[in-house]
Amino acid sequence: MGDAAIRTVVEAIHSSPTQAVVYLCGGASLALGWLMSVPRASNTLLESVVPYSRVSMVQLLGRVPSQHCSQALAKEMALLAYNRALKLSKPGYPVLGVGFTGSLVTSRPKRGDHRFFLSMRASDRILESSVTLTKNLRSREEEDKVSSCALIQAMAKACQVSGTLDSGLTESEVPYESETHFTEEQELEQLINGHLCCKIYPFSGAHGSDEDRKIILPGSFNPLHEGHLKLLEVAMSVCGGGYPCFEISAINADKPPLTIAQIKDRVKQFEVVGKTIIVSNQPYFYKKAELFPGSSFVIGADTAARLVNPKYYEGSIKRMLEILGDCKRTGCTFLVGGRNVDGVFKVLEDVDIPEEIIDMFISIPADIFRMDISSTEIRKKQGGGTN
């Protein structure tokens, strides 16, 4: 359990593309120091939170936990960390949510076991581990080091890198480990049910940097057509670069959720053309802005008109300005292309945007992009209706 061995494994973790959010409570504090003291830590660590007080844990979970040291709590923390990592990660990179909770040596004798629980949530699997330590065998610092080694070893496994640490466990301290894999259908079911905030399909194979702004074109893409592809391409040129991706919401504000089969069919279109697609469960733009802070959303003039219509904010102009003002503060912008509305071609300049938020809206000039084709018209021609 020497420093050289720990450093070697941490270097391997930092060399992997995986980015992580780590939530710890009750131990494994040395692991954070090890992760942060080895160069290239920013490649891996997006955020770390130690919800040590009762109030801090309640705020993290949004409820009072029934137990403060359990496998279920570690799993819940890992899922929260995973969703947080999806929001913070560089475009196109795999992410990991780490949850740890422990009950180690304290200044007072404990009636219960000294133990810790680990959970690692990746897109398609959960790795879980629990260890009961022998009481009166180690100091607090020694138990913390044992649990920290276990956490680093589990992270290495989740990042799919080699490296083995001697955790310092005795023969009687046998870890209980499990690994649960998810199918794509199960992941999408978790998204529809609200357990996951999004699922990213990085079909483009490209990786963005911290500086890359996501350029997101939301839609139903039923079907995807040349106009969508061209619009995102033009939006990229207007922005001067960024990480381009499309986004589908599995949840619709006015219609039933998409079925898993429908989502998979629509996603498949993007695999064919090699474009990154995000499936989210957020039908509203202010929620999309919370999910992807600092992004630029590519929309049509008709959508821009709806965005600033108080009708969609309980009839309140003040509420509309508050919500869009919050989006503005996260750095979100809207790139607005022209759109044929009831036979009339509308552009951003035809929309009455309040002065307080007008700088959030950027026009895509009609002379560099105009395509009147729509998915609805394509479906009508194919005899597929208007839904």
Task: Please provide the average confidence, as pLDDT, over all residues in the chain.
Answer: 92
Cβ within 8 Å of residue 11, ≥6 positions away: 38, 40
* Rounded CA separation 300/248 (Å): 16
Rounded to 5 degrees, φ, ψ at 140 are -60, -45
Enter the pTM of the model.
0.92
Cα angle for residues 10, 140, 22 (degrees, 5° grid): 40
What pLDDT is stored for residue 385 in this prediction?
Answer: 57
Per-residue confidence at 167, pLDDT binned at 50, 70, 90? confident
* Rounded CA separation 196/115 (Å): 29
CA 201 and chain centroid, separation? 12
Count the residues in the chain.
387
pLDDT above 90 (res 163): no
What pLDDT is stored for residue 63 in this prediction?
Answer: 95
What pLDDT is stored for residue 373 in this prediction?
Answer: 67
* Rounded CA separation 260/187 (Å): 10
What pLDDT is stored for residue 231 in this prediction?
Answer: 93
pLDDT above 90 (res 97): yes
Q: What is the pLDDT of residues 125-152, one digit of tens each?
A: 999 999 999 999 999 999 999 999 999 9
* Rounded CA separation 43/340 (Å): 44
What pLDDT is stored for residue 315 in this prediction?
Answer: 95
% of the chain at pLDDT higher than 70? 96
Q: What is the mean pLDDT of residues 94-117?
A: 93
pLDDT above 70 (res 158): yes
Q: What is the mean pLDDT of residues 351-367?
A: 95
- Helix (H) / strand (E) element for 95: namely strand 95-103
In three state form, how does the secondary structure of 121-157 look?
ECCCEEEEEEEEECCCCCCHHHHHHHHHHHHHHHHHH
Per-residue confidence at 91, pLDDT binned at 50, 70, 90? confident
**DSSP-derived 3-state class of residue 345:** strand
Angle between helices 29-37 and 3-15 (to 10 degrees): 70
Which one is predicted more confidently, 352 or 372? Answer: 352
Q: What is the mean pLDDT of residues 172-197?
A: 96
pLDDT above 70 (res 387): no
Per-residue confidence at 109, pLDDT binned at 50, 70, 90? confident
CB distance 204 to 275 below 8 Å = yes
Which one is predicted more confidently, 381 or 308? Answer: 308
What domains appear along the chain, each with residue ranges and CATH number? Answer: 1-181 (3.90.950.20), 188-382 (3.40.50.620)
CB distance 133 to 173 below 8 Å = yes
In three state form, how does the secondary structure of 195-254 look?
CCCEEEECCCCCCCCCCCCEEEEECCCCCCCHHHHHHHHHHHHHHCCCEEEEEEECCCCC
